[in-house]
Amino acid sequence: MGKTIIISNRLPIQLQIHNGGITAIPSVGGLATGMKSVHSGGDSLWIGWSGLTDEEIPENLVGDIDDALSKHGSSKVNLSQQEVDGFYYGFSNRTVWPLFHYFLEYSEFEIESWETYKKVNQKFADAIVAKADDDDTIWVHDYQLMLVPQMVREKLPNISIGFFLHIPFPSFEIFRTLPWRKEVLEGLLGSDLIGFHTYDYERHFLSSVRRILGLDVSFNDIYLEDRIIKVDSFPMGIDYKKFSDAALEHQQRSKAEQSELQQRLNNHKESAPDAKFILSIDRLDYTKGIAKRLNAFEYFLTKYPQYKEKVRLIILAVPSRSNVPQYQLLKREVDELVGRINGEFSTVSWTPIWYFYRSMPFENLIDLYTSSDIAWLTPIRDGMNLVAKEYVATRTDKTGVLILSEMAGAANEMNESLLINPNNFEQIADTIHQAIQMPKEEQQERNDVLQKRLERYNVERWANDFMSSLTDQKENSRSYVSR
Ligand code: GDG
């Protein structure tokens, strides 16, 4: 059994240059946590971009950076600013991201950024080939690296390769509009196992393989020359214990130990005990439906005026890809909507929306989750949506209502939440009303089922299921060849 090589666009490490030295801080994001059981020191390696372009790395620190990364079992792929622009901000985020989320009108089909995408994918593949042996297992992550599996397969035909897509895979009618649809599918088919969050994405992918490449597909196996490629769904979970423990610890804090945000939230609750907090947390991304949510909130206040001065919407919008024009436009739209709605409805003692445009420390995230009576997460399209799962995990007394979009992958596993269509304002307004009125016992019954499921299918289980399925698949494929 060889080593495991994980590969993603960004390494799970933050590099910081200061005082002429370098520090490498491991990130604590969901993917990094989930991979802990797979990426366990000596027998594994994580390859990715460090987040610093070639131009940003001082020459005298190159060796130090490599040493710092290797202490964390990581190795970097070097990218110039021009490569990051074409590959990441270009093809990944102006072509694939909008297209795969059904924002066809936002997708740009530019040959230059496609060329850079290919070139950078080749760099990642070369970095793997330089470190890999035939008996290693490679796990490639996400839409920035869809050509890597085939590029590695060309050099190492017998190696075991898995690919997981963190965003939706669109229907054939959408996917077929991509000028490089064939190349992207062929790139992915270098894998032995291709994983998606949901059965629907899996089905869409298989239909594109059948119709664009005309390959033989039987159930969820694709037959390609002398290989069988398996396609399956692996809904990603969260680090359940981390969130539930943080919430428990949070409850036990004395007033003096609480954050300023928590104290403010508590003061508001004390001064208006029947007031409700509704929470909305997302990256500021057009797929997350933040502008639509604000319009729906305005509609709700108009339809149910009895909740004026009683309900407060807390929006945390985390800055993201702010040099892509659509994201700049969206920022302006959200700023204006918040201003307009607050201007229209505020009273001397009440502001309907609290709006934070920033990333908050983990501790404040827990403050928000645990203080909110309702989480309102209504993306227009979302691969999974981990925030929905994290909110439920922090509800230690099992109260709290989750209102979730049907268009989020998470909706498949969270039937006990209140599922809505993000375009149906009438339904949304009625559902917020229902959530506010929901008896405590009903909230607890729903959350009890959800929590048990989330605890069982946590992120570690997700990573282990994927890896063992990849091992099995490689065995099946080998016995198919030797038949
Ligand atoms: C992609 C897919 C899929 C958010 N704000 C803060 C903060 N967060 C953390 C949350 C959560 C994560 O960021 C966001 O995860 P999501 O799943 O909601 O969304 P994407 O970033 O779009 O992720 C998505 C995911 O990949 C996994 O496959 O679910 O569909 O789009 O973990 O907690 N964390 C901190 N401060 C914040 O202000 N510390």
Distance CA 96, CA 280 (A): 26
Ligand 1 atom nearest residue 390's Cα = 33
Distance from the CA of 238 to the center of ligand 1, in angstroms?
10
Q: pLDDT-derived band of residue 417, with 50, 70 and 90 as boundaries?
A: very high
Q: In whole angstroms, what is the distance from residue 196 CA to residue 329 CA?
A: 30
Spatial separation of the C-alpha atoms in residues 118 and 150, rounded to whole Å? 12
* Beta carbon of 404 within 6 Å of any ligand 1 atom: no
CA atoms within 13 A on the CB side of 261: 18
149 Cβ neighbours under 8 A, 6+ residues apart: 138, 140, 161, 163, 187, 188, 189, 190, 191
Report the separation in Å between the CA atom of 211 and the middle of ligand 1, taken as the mean of its atom positions.
33
Contact 28 CB / ligand 1 (< 6 Å): no
Atom of ligand 1 nearest to the CA of 197: 28
Instruction: Give the C-alpha distances (Å, rounded to integers) separating 277 from 267, 312, 375, 399.
Output: 13, 5, 9, 13
Instruction: Indicate which atom in ligand 1 lies nearest the CA of residue 358.
Output: 38
Specify whether the CB–CB gap between 266 and 258 falls below 8 A.
Answer: yes
Distance 325 CA to ligand 1 centre (A): 21
Local confidence band at 26 (pLDDT 50, 70, 90 cut-offs):
confident
Instruction: Considering only residues 8 and 21, tell me which one the structure prediction assigns the higher pLDDT.
Output: 8
pLDDT at 1: 74
6 pairs with which residues across the strands? Answer: 46, 139
pLDDT of residue 86: 96
Residue 142 near ligand 1, beta carbon < 6 Å:
no
At residue 12, φ and ψ (nearest 5 deg) are -80, 45
User: In the numeric block, which tokens belong to residue 109?
Assistant: 């089909």
Of the residues 97, 236, 360, 384, which should be mutated to test ligand 1's pocket, given the most ligand atoms within 8 Å of the CB? Answer: 384
pTM, to two decimals? 0.96
Other CB atoms within 10 Å distance of the CB of residue 443:
20
pLDDT of residue 24: 86
Q: Which two tokens stand for residue 228?
A: 């069988």
Q: Is 236 in the pocket of ligand 1 (CB under 6 A)?
A: yes
Residue 474 beta carbon below 6 angstroms from any ligand 1 atom: no
Give the position, in ligand 1's atom list, of the atom nearest the Cα of 30.
32
Cα distance between residue 161 and residue 284, in whole Å? 33
pLDDT at residue 29 is higher than 70: no
Please say whether the beta carbons of 360 and 279 come within 8 A: no
| Tens of pLDDT, residues 213-229 | 999 899 999 999 989 99
The CA 288 to ligand 1 mean position distance, Å, reads 11
Contact criterion met (CB below 8 Å) for 152 and 192: no
Is the pLDDT at 483 greater than 90? The verdict is no
Residue from 291, 287, 376, 378 nearest 332 by CA = 291
What amino acid occupies position 4?
T
Distance between CA atoms of residues 166 and 168, nearest Å: 7
**How is residue 171 written in tokens?**
């229907």
Question: Average pLDDT of the chain?
Answer: 93
Is the pLDDT confidence value at 480 over 80?
no
Model pLDDT, residue 298: 98
Nearest atom in ligand 1 to 383's CA:
30
CA distance 93 to 272: 44
Dihedral sign (CA 88, 90, 92, 94): positive
Q: How far apart are CA 470 and CA 438, in angstroms?
A: 44
Give residues with Cβ within 8 angstroms of 25, minimum separation 6: 13, 14, 16
Q: Which two structure tokens, joined as six digits, stand for 378?
A: 């209504």
Tokens matching residue 36 = 């802990």
In the reported structure, the alpha carbon of residue 106 is separated from the centroid of ligand 1 by a whole-number distance in angstroms of 22
Quote the ligand 1 centre to 20 CA distance (angstroms): 32
Mean pLDDT of 367-386: 96
Token pair for 314:
């807390």
Interval 301-342: pLDDT, tens: 999 999 999 999 999 999 988 888 899 999 999 999 999 999
Q: How far is the CA of 375 from the centre of ligand 1 (A)?
A: 15
User: In this predicted structure, which of 34-43, 280-289, 312-321, 367-376 has the lowest mean pLDDT?
Assistant: 34-43
Amino acid at 450: L
pLDDT digits (tens, 9 = 90+) for 420-476: 999 999 999 999 999 999 999 999 999 999 999 999 999 999 999 999 999 998 777
What local confidence, expressed as pLDDT, does residue 209 receive? 98
Give the dihedral sign, CA 322/325/330/336: positive
Q: How many angstroms does the Cα of residue 387 sit away from the middle of ligand 1? A: 6
Mean pLDDT for 173-192 is: 98
Nearby residues of 450 by Cβ (< 8 Å), 6 or more positions away: 392, 402, 414, 416, 417
Between strands 276-283 and 418-420, the pairing is unpaired
What token pair was written down for 212? 């664009």
223 pairs with which residues across the strands?
A: 216, 228
Q: Which has more pLDDT, 112 or 473? A: 112
Q: Which residue has the tokens 């965003």?
A: 167
Rounded to the nearest angstrom, the distance between the alpha carbon of 349 and the centre of ligand 1 is: 33
Instruction: Confirm if 102 and 177 have CB atoms less than 8 A apart.
Output: no
Hey, whose CA ends up nearest to atom 28 of ligand 1? 166
Distance (Å, whole) CA 188 – CA 373: 42
How remote is the CA of residue 458 from the centroid of ligand 1, in Å? 15
Q: Rounded to whole angstroms, how far apart are CA atoms 191 and 200?
A: 20
Residue 139 has pLDDT above 80, yes or no: yes
| pLDDT reported for residue 42 | 61
Q: How far apart are CA 462 and CA 86, in angstroms?
A: 32
Q: Is 383 in the pocket of ligand 1 (CB under 6 A)?
A: yes
30 within ligand 1 shell (Cβ under 6 A):
yes
Q: Is the pLDDT score of 96 beyond 60?
A: yes
Query: CB of 429 closer than 6 A to ligand 1?
Result: no
